[in-house]
Amino acid sequence: MEIAAVLREFGDLLEIKGSNPFRIRAYRNAVRTINDLTRSLASMVEGGEDLTELPGIGKEMANHIGELVEWGELSVLEALGQEVPRSLTDLIRLDGVGPKKAKRLWEELGVTSVDDLEQALEEDRVAGLAGFGAKSAEKIFRSIEDFRKHQGRFLLSEVDVLVRPLIRYLEEVGVVERVEVAGSYRRRKETVGDIDLLVLSEDGHEQVMDSFQAYPGVVRVEAAGGSKGRVVLRSGLPVDLRIVPRDSFGAALHYFSGSKEHNVAIRTLGVKKGLKISEYGVFSESEAEAGDSGDNKVGGAEEADVFSAVGLPWINPLLRENRGEVEAARAGELPEALKTQDIRGDLQMHSTWSDGANTLREMAEACRDRGYEYLSITDHSQAVTVAGGLKPPQVREQWEQVEEVRQLVGGIHLFRSLEVDILKDGSLDMPDEILAGLDLVLVSVHSFMNMPIAEMTKRVIRALEHPQVDILAHPTGRILNRREPFAMDVDAVLQAAAELDVAVELNAHPSRLDLHDRHVRRAKELGVKVAINTDAHSVQDLDLMRYGLDQGRRGWLESGDVLNAMSLGEFQVWKDRKNP
């Protein structure tokens, strides 16, 4: 169903672009075939079936489906999106707008998104176009309201590339002294609804607002007042900006960083101390404590003022979800945040042996250059045919190359490893003698993801019971905004991992971040080691570690909880824990 949706989107873009009708039809036919299937495509792919035997599925289409089954992503779609704004496909979802009308709106009115279309409707520019009457304009208006109720959230990695240039731009505005991002982005929540910017500027509000609205990435200004504005960037990301004076900047930063639940907890503590805490500052209810300026403000320039007013140390924004951080702060038991240098190795990545872009040697060198002490390359096993999974003889061949790379690349240790598929019944997709020959065995689910919860839980626990298993990779299978986690009793799986002495992965890829932060915290509580791995498919992807670190911090991990924060020596001991 999701695969059909992606192929449909691709077909939509081709049609909006006005591509060859045969090519468009190929995608439409493929979508129809897939929608008519009685079995899941994923299971057919994993069963090694030849998809080109299906009506309307050619070789190219079969390859696309393979890519989608493994990654939920289609690279040719990314490429086409450079030519035709992908946001145009949102228009087609609106009742009353088809591909032809979307094309006309784009070419004649410059409309590229639902926001643009709404604006064009408001300015009465649509009803005059050929094919659009007053009635259809009215209908489109109503369907936009519907569309708004179902809009998605943004991945941190998507937001990072949009926010950094915007901050740099604002910092260049002469009257701006300081720019901070608050909200869920500052808390490094896995997805972000909108960006909340705070700008320190004593005077020159007008210049700040004008510059903000004139930012080249802005497609639409939603609100613009004296000290507050909201715009929408071309990508659809809304940005709130507030101009704040120096003496309340810290209070505003605290307030707008949230979460709302954390703020409520802090405010409640304040009330008990006779303090009123708001985005403007910390105020004493008693006149006696009035400050020098004659008002009763007792702080607010620094964020630490807010915490110290209620007798707490500063709390890392990544912990501010009101999940016990206030109590822990009071007891002096806040976790010590993970540092980049705590990570000594990366234990999941792919090479050209399966679906990665770089060789073993290149991956090893890149890890060494990052200062890691060890790495393990975890190409897929045979069941994951779409990602070039390895058969046992290839695994043995790879070991020979591992040996060569060990000789060639000094200063880092390369482990023999694999990402072994957990089959439908919980058995592993590799014979025992291969498993025994690996230094490190990762296991993960890539097929039959729609099982009932009890069955899936049993399946995964059975896999963990295999004595060679070291790490359960991307435990819930979710892909943010694309695929829900599969139904599984995560707590039961974590308890089994604790009993069986198996580690769980926090997959750092920003579209996975799997485990979820609450489950990371639960793993820590249960004493289950967490491996923060990038699942890199290229040397560049090794940079994704920072998303895993943030998620680990949100899950209260400390370096002692993290498997790959062990030194090489400690790790060698750990990996042989079951057969010393």
Provide the binding-site residues for ligand DGT, judged by CB under 6 A. Answer: 183-184, 192-194, 196, 255-256, 258-260, 263-264
Residues 6+ apart with CB under 8 A from 310: 266, 269, 270, 273, 275, 277
Answer for the pair 477, 419: CB distance below 8 angstroms, yes or no: no
Q: Which residues of 108-118 are buried (b: 16+ CB within 10 A; e: fewer)?
A: ebebbbbbbbb
- Least distance to Zn ion, CB of residue 331, Å: 39
Count of residues of this chain found to bind Zn ion when the rule CB under 5 A is applied: 1
Residue number, 296 or 444, with CB nearest to Zn ion: 444
Q: Is 279 exposed, middle or buried (0-12, 13-18, 19+ CB in 10 A)?
A: middle
Provide the residue type at 140 as one letter. I
Residue numbers 511-550 binding Ca ion by CB under 5 A: none
Residue number, 191 or 352, with CB nearest to Ca ion: 191
Answer for the pair 568, 351: CB distance below 8 angstroms, yes or no: no
Q: Which stretch binds Ca ion (CB under 5 A): 127-135, 146-154, 180-188, 473-481?
A: 180-188
- Least distance to ligand DGT, CB of residue 50, Å: 44
Residue number, 198 or 531, with CB nearest to Ca ion: 198
Q: How far apart (Å, rounded) are the C-alpha atoms in residues 346 and 20? A: 45
Helix axes 114-122, 99-109, angle to 10 degrees: 70
Residues 6+ apart with CB under 8 A from 26: 56, 58, 61
Residue number, 381 or 444, with CB nearest to Zn ion: 444
Q: How far apart (Å, rounded) are the C-alpha atoms in residues 33 and 27? A: 10
- Least distance to Zn ion, CB of residue 512, Å: 9
- Least distance to Ca ion, CB of residue 554, Å: 16
Residue 258, contacted partner among Ca ion, Zn ion, ligand DGT, none, CB below 5-8 A by kind: ligand DGT
Residue number, 43 or 259, with CB nearest to ligand DGT: 259
Residue 463, contacted partner among ligand DGT, Zn ion, Ca ion, none, CB below 5-8 A by kind: none
Residue 10, contacted partner among Ca ion, ligand DGT, Zn ion, none, CB below 5-8 A by kind: none
- Least distance to ligand DGT, CB of residue 258, Å: 2
- Least distance to Zn ion, CB of residue 235, Å: 27
Residue number, 135 or 260, with CB nearest to ligand DGT: 260
Query: Roughly how many angstroms between the first and final C-alpha of the chain, as a whole number?
Result: 47
Residue number, 196 or 505, with CB nearest to Ca ion: 196
Residue numbers 111-170 binding Ca ion by CB under 5 A: none
Q: Which stretch binds Ca ion (CB under 5 A): 175-183, 315-323, 458-466, 556-564?
A: 175-183
Among 66, 85, 183, 388, contact with Ca ion (rule: CB under 5 A): 183
Q: What is the pattern of x (binds Ca ion, CB under 5 A) and - over residues 236-255?
A: ----x---------------
Residue number, 186 or 553, with CB nearest to Ca ion: 186
- Going by DSSP bridges, is the β-strand pair 374-377/281-284 parallel, antiparallel, or unpaired? unpaired
Answer for the pair 363, 412: CB distance below 8 angstroms, yes or no: no
Q: How far apart (Å, rounded) are the C-alpha atoms in residues 228 and 95? A: 34
Residue 480 backbone phi and psi in degrees, to 5: -55, 135
Residues 6+ apart with CB under 8 A from 331: none
Q: Which stretch binds Ca ion (CB under 5 A): 234-242, 295-303, 534-542, 571-579?
A: 234-242
- Least distance to ligand DGT, CB of residue 194, Å: 4
Residue numbers 434-463 binding Zn ion by CB under 5 A: 444
- Least distance to ligand DGT, CB of residue 237, Å: 10
Q: Which residue is nearest to Zn ion (CB)?
A: 444
Answer for the pair 496, 443: CB distance below 8 angstroms, yes or no: no
Provide the residue type at 432 as one letter. D
In SS3 terms, 163-193 reads as HHHHHHHHHCCCCCCEEEECHHHHCCCCEEC
Residue number, 265 or 498, with CB nearest to ligand DGT: 265
DSSP H stretches of helix in 172-299: 183-186, 205-214, 249-257, 260-272
- Least distance to ligand DGT, CB of residue 527, Å: 31
Residue numbers 187-206 binding Ca ion by CB under 5 A: 194, 196
Q: How far apart (Å, rounded) are the C-alpha atoms in residues 163 and 159? A: 6
Residue 260, contacted partner among ligand DGT, Zn ion, Ca ion, none, CB below 5-8 A by kind: ligand DGT
Q: Which residue is nearest to ligand DGT (CB)?
A: 258
Residue number, 231 or 367, with CB nearest to Ca ion: 231
Would you state the structure tokens that stand for residue 423, as one six-digit string? 């089959």
> Is the dihedral angle over the CA atoms 30, 34, 35, 36 positive or is it negative?
positive
Could you give the C-alpha distances from 221 to 108, 118, 193, 207, in angstroms and in order? 21, 12, 17, 16
Residue 263, contacted partner among ligand DGT, Zn ion, Ca ion, none, CB below 5-8 A by kind: ligand DGT
Could you give the C-alpha distances from 499 to 398, 408, 484, 492, 515, in angstroms and in order? 32, 39, 27, 11, 19
Q: What is the pattern of x (binds Zn ion, CB under 5 A) and - over residues 225-244?
A: --------------------
- Least distance to Zn ion, CB of residue 578, Å: 23
Q: How far apart (Å, rounded) are the C-alpha atoms in residues 154 and 192? A: 5
Residue number, 258 or 426, with CB nearest to ligand DGT: 258
Would you state the structure tokens that stand for residue 416, as one six-digit string? 């023999």
- Least distance to Zn ion, CB of residue 44, Å: 19
Residue number, 186 or 575, with CB nearest to ligand DGT: 186
Residues that bind Zn ion (CB under 5 A): 444
Residues that bind Ca ion (CB under 5 A): 183-184, 194, 196, 240
